[in-house]
Every structure is written in structure tokens, then in C-alpha cells.
Structure 1
Amino acid sequence: MADNATKKEEITESFHDDGSSSSDSDGKQPKVKKDFPVPPNHRNKVESVSWKEKPVHTLLGGGDVADLLLWRNKKKSAGVLGFATIIWALFEMIEYHLLSLLCHILILVLGVHFLWSNTLNFIYKCPEFPQVALDEDTVLEAASVLRHEINNALEVLREIASGKDLKEFLAVIAGLWIVSIAGSCCSLLTLVYTSFVLLHTVPLLYERHKEKADEYLEKAEAELKKQCEGLQEKVLSKIPSRKDKKFA
């Protein structure tokens, strides 16, 4: 019996020794996971898509504004354009004034409220006139959006005025010059209304005739680039820069 017990102890000790040795050997040579190199194209894959390859709806920012300008809902777009036409006709063709329009609107609202509250209640019980009030959160949100857009516009103007992109600078100068000429020929309201009508027609026509329009735009872009390079060589290259003054 004693011999059998000693044999069992020897077997268990040898078993534990083998396990510890195997674990030690595994600890000395741990398995290392190999990381396969990732191509740089897959790390930072940025697709540089030209604006010509994007749909017109995406170029207009998407959402309800793009749907309105592209006449996705014809009744809504026609209603907005018709309302703008009525406002323009009142002020330009009939020579209506803004102060008179505001006073007449207030007279109409007060008269309807008076009839709603007093006269009609003798005939049948009318519901209460709806209360109109501006929400503070809505006003603050609108002011925040307006401030953000103004700051973005000022930042864009600062970048253009820095002279980093000559083509963009000349395009903005030409656009402002055309607007100044148009402003001398017509009133501000007519100019705004004309721009509004163009926004409701040009994107739609461009979407329908995109291929032909892109051809003409490519030719105009190439011609503009050629003119900018000529201006750079003939005029701007002769103007001494600050670095030249420092070395001089």
C-alpha cells in the first residue's frame, strides 16, 4: 500500500512538472499576432469628386431648399414664386410702399380680431382667436444661424482678399462689377426678384441639360484659366513682393 501511494505521488509530481515546464516554455515564446500592413490608400481614402460629377440636388445643399428650387413639389414651388411675383408687382408696378402695406395688414388683422371677438359671438359661439407669440428658443436659434452665416461669409471674403487664389479673386471682382452695373439699371427689389426667379429656373434647366451645360462650362473655365495665366505673366509677375524688398 505504501509503495502504491509513493508511486501515485511520483506520477502526480511528474505531471505537475511537465505542465509547469510547458507553461514556462510557452511563456518564454509567446505567440505574437502579425499585423499586416495597411495600404496608405485605405487608411485615408479621400475621394476627390468634382462638382460636375455631383448631382444638382447635392450641389444646392439638399433638403427642402433644393427640393423647392428644383421643383420637386410643383405646387409649393409655384406658390412661393407666385407670392414673390405678387410682392414685386405691388412695389414696382403698382408703386405700393412698404409702410402702407404694413399699416393695411395691421388694419385687416385688427378688424378680423374685433369681428371675431364681438360681432360673431352674438350669432354663434366662436372659438377663441389664436394667440400669436414668438418663442424665445426659435428667435435665439434664428439669431445663432444668422450670426454663423455672416461669420462664414466674412471668413470667405477674408480668404479671397488674401490673394491665395487669383482665379477666385478675379471671379468675385467680376461678379461684384456685374451686380453694380445691374444695380444702377434697376432697383434693389427688382434685382432681388430677378435673382429669385433665376434661382427657380437655372438649376432646373441645368439639371435637364447637364451634359451640354458642362461642355460650355469647361470651355469657359479653360478660357478663364488662360486669361488668368496671361495676367499673372504680364502684370502680377512684375509687381515686386515683400520677399524681394527684404533681399534688396
Structure 2
Amino acid sequence: MPLRFISSDSDTEEKPAVTAAATTTRLFGRQRTLHELFGGGKVADVVLWRKKHLSAAILGGVSVIWFLLEVVEYNFLTLLSHISITAMLLLFIWSYGVALLDKSPPRLTEIILAENDFREFAQVLHAKLSSFLSMLEEVTMGKNLRLFFLAIASLWIISILGSSCSSLNLLYFGYLCIQILPVLYENYEGEVDHLVTEGSRSLRKLYRKFDSKVLNKIPRGPVKDKKHI
């Protein structure tokens, strides 16, 4: 009786092809999702457009304020006074309108300064500021020369931008970047990570050449250990 060789499913299965996106390292070597990096709460929902109506309302309000101050050349105090007058009139009409309908008047503190939302925003701001200060300390102490030169170049570019445009335009442009770039990155995460990985490899090669030809030739004094009392 002839022997039959029965092939198992594990032998016949084809191994999945490894794509470029699967082998690409995430941006900045992060392990968490973008939503978790922004705190994972309502602040992250607004930045990543999970609540589209609220995000669009905030973007529209900031854009209107920028237009009035920069294009119409409204004075800041005049604009602030007119906004306050309009808000007071609207709240006055609203409170009397709901009183006629036997409803309770609106509470401004609960609408704008909700305790949970304000505490969440403060926690996210504190965490980001602490992370930025720790990174700044590491760079300024000379522990990472690559980040040191990158920080100097970034500050030099910011100084050029600051001299060529007003601070208001720079702040508005920064807000647009915060409001638009994260959601674009979330939608095209694989492609962006792949491009950044390839670009970082090229930058590492250039830095190795610069390090071997320039930085290693700079004379350095002996490092003395500090004596602890």
C-alpha cells in the first residue's frame, strides 16, 4: 500500500507578508495611542475631533477673535468689553425667557467652569509641562548633544518667525497646528511613521559623520566627580 503524505494546515499556510508599516517604529518611540497622550479625556476628544461640534465651535471662535484683532484691527480691551456686553445681554434675555417657561435660569459656572473639566485640563497641562521641563533639563545639561543642537536650531527658526510676523499670528498658527495636525496624524499614522523613520535614519547617518569629524575632535577637560559630604 503506497504511503500518503498528508500535509497539515501549518505547512500549507503562507506566512503573512511583513509590511513597511508593521516594521516602522512609532513616532518618538511612543507605546500609547495618541488619544492617551493627550490625557484620554475631554481635552483629547476636542483636539482629536471626537466631539466635532465642540471642536468646530472652539476653532470658529478662535478664528473670529483672530480676524477681529488682526484683520479688522480691533483693540483688545474694546473687543473684550463688547464681548462681555453681548454675553451679558444674551444671558439676561435667556434668564428671563426660561423664567417665563417656568424653568431654572442657566448657571454660567456650570457651563464654562465645570469642576471636572477644569481639573482634567489642569492635570493634562501639569503632566505636559513636567515632561517638557524634564526634557529641557536633560538637553541643557549636555546629556544629549543631538537634542541640544536640535533645540538651538528650533529656537533660531522661531526667532526668525517671530521677527517676520506678529505674536498674535504666531499664536494663532500654533493653535491651528495643535487643532489640525494631531487628527491628520491619527488618520495617516502608518504613512507618517514610515516617512519619519526613514528620515530619522538619514539624519542619524549625517549626525554620525558630524560627530566623528567635528565633535570628537573638540578637546574636553577631565570630568571630576563631585564629593558628597
Q: TM-score normalized by structure 2? A: 0.65
The one-letter code sitting in structure 1 at the alignment partner of 2:192 is: A
Q: Does 1:60 align with 2:38?
A: yes
| Alignment partners' CA distance in 1, 2:201 and 2:69 | 42
| Alignment partners' CA distance in 2, 1:244 and 1:238 | 17
Which residue of structure 2 aligns with residue 214 of structure 1? 193
Match of 1:93 among 71, 74, 78: 71
Instruction: After TM superposition, list the pairs within 5 Å mapping 1:1-248 onto structure 2.
Output: 51=29, 54-108=32-86, 153-243=132-222
Q: TM-score normalized by structure 1? A: 0.60
Residues 150 and 235 from structure 1, CA distance in 2 versus in 1: closer, same or farther, beyond 3 angstroms? same
Deviation sequence 1:36-62 (CA, Å, 0-9, x none): xxxxxxxxxxxxx95355432233332
Residues 52 and 244 from structure 1, CA distance in 2 versus in 1: closer, same or farther, beyond 3 angstroms? closer
Alpha-carbon RMSD: 3.8
The structure with the larger Rg is 1
Structure 2 alignment gaps of length 5 or more:
1-24, 225-229
SS at match of 1:243: coil
Off by >6 Å, runs of 4+ in structure 1? 109-116, 126-133, 144-149
Equivalent pairs: percent with the same residue? 36
Residues 205 and 58 from structure 1, CA distance in 2 versus in 1: closer, same or farther, beyond 3 angstroms? same
